[in-house]
Structure formats: structure tokens, C-alpha cells
Amino acid sequence: MPFAILRTKKLKSMAGVFGSGRHTFREIPTLNSNGSPNQHLIGAKSAGELADAVRAKLPEKRRRDAVLCIEYLMTASPEAFARHGGHLDDSGRLPSTRAGYFDRAMAWLKARHGGQNIVCATIHIDERTPHLVAYIVPVTRDGRLSAREYLGGAAKLRKMQTDFHQQCGKPLGLKRGIEGSKATHQSVSRYYQGLEAAATVPTLTRSDCAAAATGIWTANFRAVKAAAETATVMRAQERVTTKALADRRAALDQQDSELKHKRRALDNLEARLEAQVDQLGEFDRELAKAQATAEKANREAETARKRADGLAQKLKALSRHLGLEEFMP
């Protein structure tokens, strides 16, 4: 049974958006394209329009390293399509159903991101396997620009693949990819080279083997030998790639550990700063109390001084009245 396939790519710059759009709209030479017209669904129709549409959706306040756009690619194993003996036409539809594979994929995207955030979608039928390409500005329901909301972490990515399969692939007889698989995506050129090599390897006949035993290599024998050598090279490349991925994973794990250590140190620093802020707040409160007490004492002293001055004036007036001025200091 063929597989449902969903891939995503984060575009972090307008140059990246524009470059991806040039490939999508065939504004640059495209490997393996047979020149058939593609099916535009919604939104931008050129790389320039795509860049403008993404820019128009971006909130003014965002992180400098924010993901500006998510590129989705949705397809299925080649054997799922009628051109390779399968049951889906190039638009992803079955003769007996209205909502085809790509129709369901668009509905899934709208439910996931909101139709207003889909700035472009088109079906490519000019390559070996039909596929849907869509561009999404990852604006959340509360207006934030956040690709992490949708693609952040392995758990969310697994859930995305499962949801996509349930809504889009399973109803049309497509399998979900193996959950937890370590398989990695190949480049387009290497993928098609492998397919073509597999398709062109002939089957050896008895006469081919007999000729080889006498030292004569037939065309079939040479082709099989070349394919075997190619397979050996590819296995060697796979081992190198696997090691590189393991090294990269180890480096990422190390970076993650260092980031967690820095995070803990930052948390401790924040806790100390908060404690100091609390102490400063307590000091400010005590200082305010002392200032209030001093001001009250000053007011009371001023009141007492005024009262003393008043009593002195009364005493002088009384002395004059009694003729005792000469006895007053």
C-alpha cells in the first residue's frame, strides 16, 4: 500500500521565500520537469506576488530570527497515482469521490492555519509524482507569528503526521509513515537517479552468465555490474550520511545540554535579581516610613515652636499690662 507524504520547510527570510517561489512558479530551470502546466489553486501566481503576500501578513512586532513562512509539500508514493498504475489521478481524486487527496489536504491546511493565512497553493503535475505545494504565514489565533506553535518539537510533528494521515491519506487508502522512523529525506536529484537506476537494471539470462564465465561481458552483464557498483557506492554514502547525522545529533544534544545549563544559570540569576528587587522594595518601604516619621516630627516641632512663640507674646503683653516689663528678660 502506498504512503501519504507530508513535508514542511521553514523559510526565515524574504530571500528564502522568493527563492522557493521561483522554483514553485518555474521561474528558474527545474530538474525533472516535463513542461506540463501546473494547477494553480489559490493565492500568489509568481515569486514576487508570493513575497508581497507573505510580507503583508507579517505582524510589525516579531523576533529577528522568526520563521516568516512555512512551505508544505503534500504527495504520496508514486505508485498511488494512475500514471504509475495507482488509483489517484493527477489531481489526487478517485473517479468515485468528490473530495480527492489534494482537496482534503487543502481542507486540512485551512482547519490547521486558517484560510486567511494560506498565501499560495498549487499542484505540480510536471514532475514524476504529482504534489501539492502550499505557503503558510504561521500566525496564531491570538495574532502571534509562531512556527513553533505548529512545528515545535517531535511530539507536535508526530501529531501533525498522524492528523494529516487520518484526515487526508487514510480515506483514500494511503498508509501513514512509520512512526519514529529514522529515515531522512533525499534530495530530488538523488531520488530520481535512484528510481531511474532501479528501473533500467536488466535481468541476467543464462546466456549472459555463460558468456561472463568465458570472460565475455554482454551489455546486460555490464549494466548489472555497473548497478551493483553504484549500489555499493550508495551504501557507502549512506554509511557516511548516517555517521554525519549521528555526529550532528550528538552535537545538537551537546548544544541542548549547554543551553539547558545556561537556562538554569539564567533562572538562578533571575531568582537572585528578584530577591534583590524584593529587598530594595522592603528598604524603600522602611525609608518611606522613616521619612514619614521625620516629617511628622518636624510638623510637631513646628507646631510646638509656634505655640511657644504665641505664649511668649502673651507673656509680654501681660507684663506690660501689669507694669512688670522691667522684670522681663
CATH, residue 107: 3.30.930.30
Q: Are 138 and 67 in contact (CB under 8 A)?
A: yes
Same domain, yes or no, for 96 and 235?
A: no
Same domain, yes or no, for 171 and 119?
A: yes
| pLDDT of the residue at 117 | 95
Rounded distance between C-alpha atoms, residue 135 and residue 132, angstroms = 10
**Per residue, what are the HEC states of 51-118?**
HHHHHHHCCCCCCCCCCCEEEEEEEECHHHEHHHCCCECCCCCCCCCCCCHHHHHHHHHHHHHCHHHE
With respect to residue 71, please indicate whether it lies within any of the assigned structural domains. Answer: yes
- By residue range, what is the domain housing residue 38? 4-190
The beta-carbon contacts of 148-157 under 8 Å, at least 24 apart in sequence, are 150/70, 150/112, 150/113, 151/8, 151/10, 151/70
Q: Are 101 and 41 in contact (CB under 8 A)?
A: no
Q: What is the dihedral of CA 248, 254, 255, 261, to 10 degrees?
A: 170
Rounded distance between C-alpha atoms, residue 302 and residue 220, angstroms = 117
| pLDDT of the residue at 328 | 57
| pLDDT of the residue at 195 | 47
Same domain, yes or no, for 181 and 215?
A: no
Partnered with residue 121 across adjacent β-strands are: 42, 134
With respect to residue 198, please indicate whether it lies within any of the assigned structural domains. Answer: no
| pLDDT of the residue at 265 | 87
Same domain, yes or no, for 122 and 238?
A: no
Same domain, yes or no, for 232 and 184?
A: no
Question: Among residues 47, 46, 58, 45, which one has the least CA distance to residue 12?
Answer: 58
Query: How many domains does the chain contain in total?
Result: 2
Same domain, yes or no, for 54 and 123?
A: yes
CB atoms within 10 A of CB 162: 13
Rounded distance between C-alpha atoms, residue 306 and residue 291, angstroms = 22
With respect to residue 228, please indicate whether it lies within any of the assigned structural domains. Answer: yes
Q: Summarize pLDDT for 169-189 with one digit per residue, the tens.
A: 999 889 887 665 555 555 545
Distances (CA, A) of 57 to 10, 14, 51, 52, 144: 16, 12, 10, 9, 11
| pLDDT of the residue at 201 | 65
Which parts of the chain register pLDDT below 50? 188, 192, 195, 198-199
Q: Summarize pLDDT for 246-259 with one digit per residue, the tens.
A: 777 788 788 878 88
| pLDDT of the residue at 324 | 65
Rounded distance between C-alpha atoms, residue 179 and residue 160, angstroms = 11
| pLDDT of the residue at 110 | 96
Residues in contact with 100: Cβ distance below 8 Å, sequence separation at least 6, in sequence order: 88, 89, 91, 92, 93, 94, 172
Question: What Rg, from alpha-carbon coordinates, does the chain have?
Answer: 39
Partnered with residue 256 across adjacent β-strands are: none
Same domain, yes or no, for 45 and 143?
A: yes
